[in-house]
């Protein structure tokens, strides 16, 4: 992470940012295309991970 306090997003927040459903977000996590952590049993995704995922998708299409 580039900052000491990375923004952690919930699954619904990632769903809104990527315009995909809950199942798709968990599929991206399961396949390691989206990095996530668990905080007391709650899944959290660093905002930087979402940005990295989007960049990889764009670069793959170029």
Checking if the pLDDT of 28 tops 90, the result is yes
- Place 47 in a pLDDT band, splitting at 50, 70 and 90: very high
Regarding predicted confidence, which is higher, 27 or 5? 27
Assigned CATH topology for domain 8-61: Multidrug-efflux Transporter Regulator; Chain: A; Domain 2 (1.10.1660)
34 burial level (CB within 10 Å; 0-12, 13-18, 19+): buried
List Cα–Cα distances, 42 to 9, 39, 48, in angstroms. 11, 5, 18
Strand (E) or helix (H) holding 25: helix 22-30
pLDDT of residue 6: 74
Per-residue pLDDT at 1 = 47
**Per-residue pLDDT, 2:** 52
State the pTM of this model.
0.84
């Amino acid at each position: 992470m580039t900052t000491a306090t990375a923004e952690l997003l919930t699954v619904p927040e990632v769903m809104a940012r990527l315009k995909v459903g809950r199942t798709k977000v968990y599929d991206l996590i399961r396949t390691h295309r989206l990095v996530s952590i668990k905080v007391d049993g709650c899944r959290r995704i660093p905002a930087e991970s979402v940005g990295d995922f989007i960049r990889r998708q764009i670069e793959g299409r170029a």
